[in-house]
Amino acid sequence: MHRRPDLPAAVRIWEVAPRDGLQNEPSVVPARVKAELVARLVGAGLTTVETSSFVDPAWVPQLADAEEVFSLLEPLRATPDHVHGAALHFPALVPNLRGLERAVSSGVRDVCVFASATETFAWKNLNRSRDEVLERFVPVVTEAKARGLGVRAYVSMCFGDPWEGPVEEADVVSVCERLLEMGADEVSLGDTIGVATTGQVVDMLDALARAGVPARRIAVHFHDTYGQALANTLTALSCGITTVDASAGGIGGCPFAKSATGNLATEDLCWALAGAGVSTGVDLDRLVETSVWMAERLGRPSPSKVVRVLAQRSQGTRSEQ
């Protein structure tokens, strides 16, 4: 254990494999497998597991069974909140009031909306201007808060856009400010195409701090397209961020963004944080087991390096027995 004094003592991992991960898989996974994935992730110590999406099933057929998944998870969701020493959260994406209603009917207590830092991606992904996307979420966030739900806002393309190239910090700051003003509890800064580097991360978080946005209301969401996700995440932590998004086994991405590849693998992050003496509450062996199990269901090996090495090692141990 080599505690890094510049990192926080504890980090909340916002696990996105069942939603952001499976949304990007070519194959559709049965609802019972999704529910088992969520349950296994909770069993591995993850307390926030983004579970599904209530967007129009025509957009994301992979997650068309959100109601069924939440229904299968009812026993787990009924678990007393503090059985793990922390409240359990099963957030879901909602695109509009209709999605919010569906989510609430399924007993969802935490919802996520999604905006874009750039005009082009707003048009490509949501067929509206960046500001129209934001205004469209005002009634959704207002209603969600009125019902006492937790609200997170994703902001896509914070560090680069495949059509526009570099993104102005001021644009990201203004979108984040608008989302927090309308009532979101936190914003998650997405490097949707995985181009960010550590210097950019420092500058962006500086810009948000200068604008008065507290670090506790910011999460980071890095993709590993250029192999930078872990370095970027650790840099964000050294800037005071304490919530980071990751995907068990490294699965997922964004099907609507050119060149997007997988999310930061939760296991690679946990290896780094365990080594730095940062508490996550995750049982790495159980998490690796879960990702190996899921990779079998997806029919391809996990892209996570930690999963590959530890899975191989435990197989080796078994075959030596």
| Residues involved in catalysis | 254
Is there binding between residue 313 and a second copy (CB under 8 A)?
yes
Structure tokens at 286: 């159980």
Q: What is the DSSP letter of 160?
A: -
Is there binding between residue 246 and a second copy (CB under 8 A)?
no
Cβ proximity to a second copy, 74 vs 206, nearer residue: 206
- Contact partners, residue 127, CB within 8 Å, separation at least 6: none
By C-alpha distance, which of 186, 179, 22 is closest to 89?
186
At 303, is the secondary structure helix, strand, or coil? coil
Is there binding between residue 230 and a second copy (CB under 8 A)?
yes
- What is the rounded CA–CA span in Å between residue 159 and residue 9? 27
Is there binding between residue 291 and a second copy (CB under 8 A)?
no
Q: What is the DSSP letter of 55?
A: S
Is there binding between residue 197 and a second copy (CB under 8 A)?
yes
Structure tokens at 38: 């969520």
Is there binding between residue 226 and a second copy (CB under 8 A)?
yes
- Indicate the residue type of 58: A
Q: Minimum distance from CB of 15 to a second copy (Å)?
A: 17
Residue with tokens 């007993």: 107
Q: Judged by CB under 8 A, which of 26, 227, 317, 320 binds a second copy?
A: 227
Q: Judged by CB under 8 A, which of 56, 132, 168, 203 binds a second copy?
A: 203
β-sheet bridge partners, residue 155: 115, 189
Q: Judged by CB under 8 A, which of 242, 259, 293, 314 binds a second copy?
A: 259
Q: What is the DSSP letter of 21?
A: I
Residue with tokens 């194959």: 27
Q: Judged by CB under 8 A, which of 84, 145, 297, 305 binds a second copy?
A: 305
Q: Minimum distance from CB of 6 to a second copy (Å)?
A: 9
- What is the rounded CA–CA span in Å between residue 30 and residue 133? 31
Is there binding between residue 256 and a second copy (CB under 8 A)?
no
Is there binding between residue 209 and a second copy (CB under 8 A)?
no
Question: With DSSP H G I counted as helix, E B as strand and the rest as coil, what are the percentages for the chain, rounded to 5?
Answer: 45, 15, 40
Which residues 3-62 are close enough to bind a second copy by CB under 8 A? 3-4
Is there binding between residue 1 and a second copy (CB under 8 A)?
yes
Q: Which residues bind a second copy (CB under 8 A)?
A: 1-4, 196-200, 202-203, 224-228, 230-231, 234-235, 259, 261, 265, 268, 271-272, 274-277, 304-306, 309, 312-313
